[in-house]
Structure 1
Amino acid sequence: MTENANPSADYHPAIRRASSYPISSAVVSGIFVFLDGLWFLMSGAAVYSYYIGGNLWSADLYPAAVCFVWLVALFLFRYSGLYRFNAVMAPFGNLAQIVVSCATAFLFLMAVFFSLKVSGEISRVWTFSYATTALTGIFVTRVIGYFVISHLANIGVFARNVLIVGGGRQAERLLEQLEKEKPRFNNVIGVFDDRHARIGPSVAGVPVLGNLSEMMRYVRANRVDDIIVTLPWNADERLLSIISRLRELPANIHLGSDLVGFRFPYRPSPNHFIGIPMMQVVKTPLSGWNIVVKWLEDRVLSALLIVLFAPILAAVALAIRLESPGPVIFRQKRYGYNNEVFHIYKFRSMYHGEVPVKTVQATKDDPRITRVGRFIRRTSLDELPQLFNVLFGDMSLVGPRPHAVDHNEEYGAIIKGYFGRHRVKPGITGWAQVNGLRGETDTLEKMEARVRYDTYYAENWSLLFDLQILARTAVVGFVNKNAY
C-alpha cells in the first residue's frame, strides 16, 4: 500500500486463471499414498472373491494377510522414496523399485505364514494372484496419474506462478533450466530487478516487469506461489535485505544456486522444481494439505458455532434494535489475506451516525458507545457476526485481527515487517489477543508487540496451535478489561 509501482505491473493475464490451481508436491504424494493403499486393499478382496468366492472380510486369515501387506508395502514405498514428487512423476524410471518393494512385502507375508505354521491355510494361487494384481494396478495407476497431471500442468490447470528476483547470469541459467522442464509445473511470469533499466526488457525471453518495490505491489495484486532470488551468494547483505522484505509476502521464497551450482550433477529435489538447484529459505505456513486442514477447520467449526450461538445472535440483535435506531450489523472495510479488501461484520455497538473519514479507536468511557454496545464489546459478543465472514471465506477463526484500512496503511509505513501478518487470513481471535494484546492500541509499542505475535503465528501455523488459541479464547477471551 505504501509501495510505488508501475501500473502495468499490477496484473498479468497469465496469472489469474479461474481454473488454475497451484500444484503441491505434498498433496500429489498424499493422493498416491491413498491410491496405493486402496489398491492393496481392493485387489486382495477382488482376487479372493474371484478365486475362492465370498466376502474376504468374513474369512479367517485373509483379512489379516491383506492388512499386513497393506501396512508393510506402504512403509516400504515410503522408505524407498517412491512417494517423493520426482518419483511419482517418473513411474517408468521407478518401475524396478516398485516391483522390489511389492515383492518384499509379499515375501514378508509368506515368511510370517511359515513362522506361524499357517501357510497351508492360505491359498498360494490367491497369494500370487494378489501380488500380481496389486503390482499391476499400482503401476497402471501411477502411469495414468502421471499423464493426467502432466496434461493438466501443460495446459496451465496445475501450475505454480513463479517470479524471479535478479536479472544476471544466474537468472539466465535458471530460466534455461526451467524452460527444459517437462511437464511445465512452473509458470514463470516475469523478472524483477532494481537495476531493470540496465538489463533490458527481458531475460532469457522472460519479461522484466520492474524493480523490487514494484514486485511487492505486484504480488499483492496477483496470485504468486514462488519467488526465486537469483543473486550471487557473496552479496550476502543484499540477499538478507531482499529476503527480509519478501518475508511479508504470502509466497515461498527460494534462493537460487550460485553459478557453480549449475556445473555439478544435482540430485532432484522432492518438490515441484524437479532437478533445479536451489534452497527454500521461507515457506508459506499454509500450503499443501495444511490448506485443506485450515479450510475444514474454518468451515466446519464456524457452521457449528453459528448454530450453537443462534439464540445469542438473535438476542443481541433484538437488544441493539430496541435500544437505538440504525442497522444491527456494522460493516467496515478491512485488509485481509495478502492485503485484499473485504467487509468485516460486527454487531453495531455505537450510536448510528456519520462515519468519520479517519477511523478513531474506541476509548474508555467513549460517548459514542451505547449501553448494549459497552456490554457486547466487553464480552466480545460484537464479534460473533464474523462467524459468517469465516463461513464465506474472508476470515479464519484464528489469525491476526484485521485492522481498519487507514490504520493498516499508517502502521504499515512505520513498522518494519508489518504486512507479514497478511500472509494468512485474519481471524476472529489470534495469538496476540490471547496474550493480552486486545482492544485499544494507543501507542506504537503496543502495535509493534501485536505485530510480533501476529507474524509469529503466520510463520508457525499448525492445527494444534489453532486449537490451543481457541481453547485459551474460550477460557479468557470473552471478557477483557482492555476492550472498550
Structure 2
Amino acid sequence: MSVLLFFVLSDLLLALASGWFAYLMRFGDLNLPDSYLMLIIIFSLLVVVSFGVFCPNIYWNRYPWIERIKKLAMAFLVAFSGLLLILVAFKISYEYSRIWLSVWMLTHATLIVLFYSMVSVAVKRYWAREENARSVLIIGKGAGFKKTIDRFLKPNSEGYIIKDTIYFEMPEDALSQLQSRINEGQQFDAYWIFLPLSCSDAVKDIVHILRHETGDIQYMPGLRDLPLINHQVNIIGDIYSFDITRSPLDGFNSILKRAEDILIASLILILISPLCLLIALAVKWSSPGPILFKQYRYGKGKEKIKVYKFRSMKVHQEEAGSVTQAIKDDPRITRVGAYLRCTSLDELPQFINVLQGRMSIVGPRPHAIAHNEHYKELVDSYMKRHKIKPGITGLAQVNGYRGETDTLEKMQKRVEFDIKYLEQWSLWLDVKIVFKTIFKGFVSDKAY
C-alpha cells in the first residue's frame, strides 16, 4: 500500500509542479489565477486516475522497456485528452495561454519519462536484494525448467528467488514430494508450474494439492512460439505465465478498495455511534459478560485476525478446537442477541475492523477457523476466499446465503458466490452489493 501511495502522490506532484513551472516560464510569476490553478488540479486528478489504470506501477520492472514507453504514452494521452475535452465542452479554452499549455504538456511528458526511468532503476535494485525477493517453489521438467532455475536461483531484478524445486520426472513421486512440503507447513509467495501443455492432467493434480495455499499459482508452459491472439498473460522476465489464481485487488485496485473502505466505514461509524451505544447498554443488561465478542478468524492470506461483534450469546465454554454454529431457538442466545443476529446489528463493530485494515466493507464473510479447517477439504476452492480481505457483507449474503450453513450444499453455494466476486470484482459491484445490503441484506430469517 505504501508503494502504491508513493506512485499516486508522485503522479499528482509531477502534474502540479509541471503546470506551475510552465506558468513561471510563460508569465514570470508564481501567483497563479484561480482559473489556472483549477485547471492544473483537474489535470492532476486525471493523471492520477489514468496512470493508475494504464501503468502497473508495482510490477513496472517486469515489462520490456518498449512496453513501458507505450503504457506511459497511453496514460499521458488519456489524461491530456480528458483535459482537452473539458476545455472544449465548457468552452473555456480561450481563457488560457496556448504557449502555457504547450510548455506544460511538454514539461510534464519529460518529467514522467525521467521519473519512471529512475523508478525502474530503483525497483530493480530493490528486488535484487534477497531479503526483498518473493520466495518460489518451482515444479517442472525440461530445458526451460532448468534455465528458469539458473536464472532465479540467485537474487535478481525480477524480485523472485527459487527456494525449493521439485523435478517432475516421475509424476507420482513429484506429487508426493509436493504434498509432503505442504504437510510440513512450508509456505511460498509463489508456486511455478513449468510443464508442457501435454501434462495438463498433472497440472490439475498440482493445483488440487495447492488448493489451500494463498500464494500465487502460475503456470509456465512455454508459449513464446504459439500465436496468442487477444489473450491476457503475465510476464516475469521474458517468461510467459498463466496466472491460475491471483487477487483482483493487486496494484492500483487495492488503493481504490482501501479508499472505499475508509470512506464508507468512517461515515457509517459516525452515523451509527448513538445506536452502538444503545446496543452496548442492552447487551450489558441482557446477561453477564463482556459487550463485545472477539474471535480469531482467517483474514487475507490466512492471517489470523481478531473480529469484533456485539455479544449475542450467554457466556459459555466451547470444546477445544470446535465452534458450534447457532441454530434456531438456540438456548445460548439471549433475547437481545436474537434480535441483533436476525437484523445483523451484532456485526456493527466490524466497521472498526475495516478501519484497522483487517476487513473490508465488501468481501467473503470470515468463518470461524474451525469451520475453515472442516470445509476446506469438502468444498473446492474454499481457501481461495482468503485471497482478499473478508467483508462485512458480500455477494453471497445479498443472494440469500447468510446465517447458518447447516448443509454442505449451502456452504458450496456461498463459496461459489465468493469466488464469483473474486472473478468479477469492480467498484461498481461493491456499490451494488452495499445498496442491496441496505435494502434487503440486513434482516433475514436464516440468521439465528
Name the SS for the 2:265 alignment partner: helix
Q: Which residue of 2 aligns with 1:53?
A: 28
Structure 2 length-normalised TM: 0.76
* 1:128–1:473 CA distance, 2 compared to 1 (3 A): closer
Q: 1:157 to 1:149 in 2, by over 3 A?
A: farther
Q: CA deviation at 1:363?
A: 1.5
Matched, 1:410 2:374: yes
1:121-171 deviations in whole A, cap 9, x for unaligned? Answer: 9787x7886677556534432332232222222235764443312355432
Q: What is aligned with 2:159?
A: 185
Q: Name the CA shift for 1:463/1:249 in 2 (closer, same or farther; >3 Å).
A: farther
Q: Which residue of 1 aligns with 2:400?
A: 436
Which residue of 256, 264, 267 corresponds with 1:301?
Answer: 264
Partner of 2:295: 332
Q: How many residues align?
A: 425
Unaligned runs of 5+ in 2: 85-92
Is the aligned partner of 1:171 residue 2:171?
A: no
Letter in 2 for 1:166: G
Matched, 1:319 2:294: no
Shift of 1:421: 1.9
Task: Point out which structure has higher relative CO (alpha carbons under 8 A, 6+ apart).
Answer: 1
Larger CA deviation: 148-157 vs 425-434: 148-157
Identity of paired residues, percent? 33
- The equivalences for 1:104-119 within 5 A come to none
Structure 1 residues 158 and 405: CA distance shift in structure 2, 3 A: closer
> Larger Cα Rg: Structure 1 or Structure 2?
1
* Counterparts of 2:112 and 2:433, CA distance in 1: 42
Q: Which one of the candidate residues 242, 257, 273 is aligned to 1:310?
A: 273
Q: Does 1:380 align with 2:355?
A: no
* Structure 2 residue aligned with 1:154: 128
Question: Contact (CA 8 Å) 2:130, 2:155: kept in 1 or not?
Answer: no
Separation (CA, whole Å) in 2 of partners of 1:213 and 1:221: 10
* Conserved 8 A contact 1:250-1:284: no
Please state whether the residue corresponding to 1:349 is helix, strand or coil.
coil
- Distance in 2 separating the partners of 1:290 and 1:66: 22
Aligned ranges 1:354-433 → 2 under 5 Å: 354-357=317-320, 358-433=322-397
Structure 1: segments with no counterpart, 5+ residues? 1-20, 110-117, 200-207
CA contact (8 A) 2:312 2:334 kept: yes
Which range moves more in the overlay, 397-406 or 469-478?
Answer: 397-406
Query: How far apart are residue 384 of structure 1 and its match?
Result: 1.3
Residue 18 (structure 2) aligns with: 43
Partner of residue 341 from structure 1, selected from 284, 298, 304: 304
Deviation at 1:472, TM superposition (A): 0.9
Contact 1:165 1:230 in 2 (8 A): yes
C-alpha deviation, 1:319, in angstroms: 0.9
Q: TM-score, normalised by structure 1?
A: 0.71
- Please state how far the C-alpha of 1:403 moved relative to its aligned partner: 2.0
Looking at structure 1, the residues matched to 425 and 140 of structure 2 have their Cα atoms a distance apart, in angstroms, of 30
Contact 2:217 2:246 in 1 (8 A): yes
C-alpha distance in 2 between matches for 1:44 and 1:280: 40
Distance 1:465 1:282 in 2: 20
Change (3 A) 1:127 1:474: closer
- Determine if contact 2:219/2:242 at 8 Å carries over to the other structure: yes
Which one of the candidate residues 398, 421, 424 is aligned to 1:460? 424
Structure 1 or 2: larger helix share?
2
Shift of 1:376: 0.8
| Offset of residue 468 of structure 1 | 1.5
Report if aligned partners of 2:233, 2:243 keep a CA contact under 8 Å in 1.
no
CA distance in 2, matches of 1:425, 1:75: 26
Question: Displacement of 1:172 after TM fit?
Answer: 0.9
Pair 1:353-2:316 in alignment: yes
What SS does structure 2 have at the residue aligned with 1:309?
helix
Matched residues in 1 for 2:42 and 2:361: separation? 39
CA distance in 2, matches of 1:346, 1:332: 9
Taking only aligned residues, the RMSD between alpha carbons, in angstroms, comes to 4.7
Q: What CA distance in whole angstroms lies between the structure 2 residues aligned with 1:80 and 1:340? A: 29
- The code of the aligned residue for 1:372 comes to V
1:320–1:348 CA contact under 8 A, matched in 2: yes
| Residue 206 (structure 2) pairs with residue 242 (structure 1) | yes
**Equivalent-residue separation in structure 2 for 1:274 and 1:322 (angstroms):** 62
**Structure 1: how far apart are the matches of 2:267 and 2:447?**
26
Instruction: Give SS of 1:277's match.
Output: strand
- CA distance in 2 between counterparts of 1:426 and 1:408 reads 13
1:324 is displaced (CA, Å) by 1.5
**Residue 334 of structure 1: how far off its partner (Å):** 2.2
1:219-230 to structure 2, matched below 5 A, reads: 222=187, 224=189, 226-230=190-194
Q: Separation in 2 of the partners of 1:350 and 1:123?
A: 70
Structure 2 counterpart SS, 1:235: helix
**Deviations for 1:148-198, whole angstroms, at most 9, x for unmatched residues?**
222222235764443312355432122234469962422333224677999
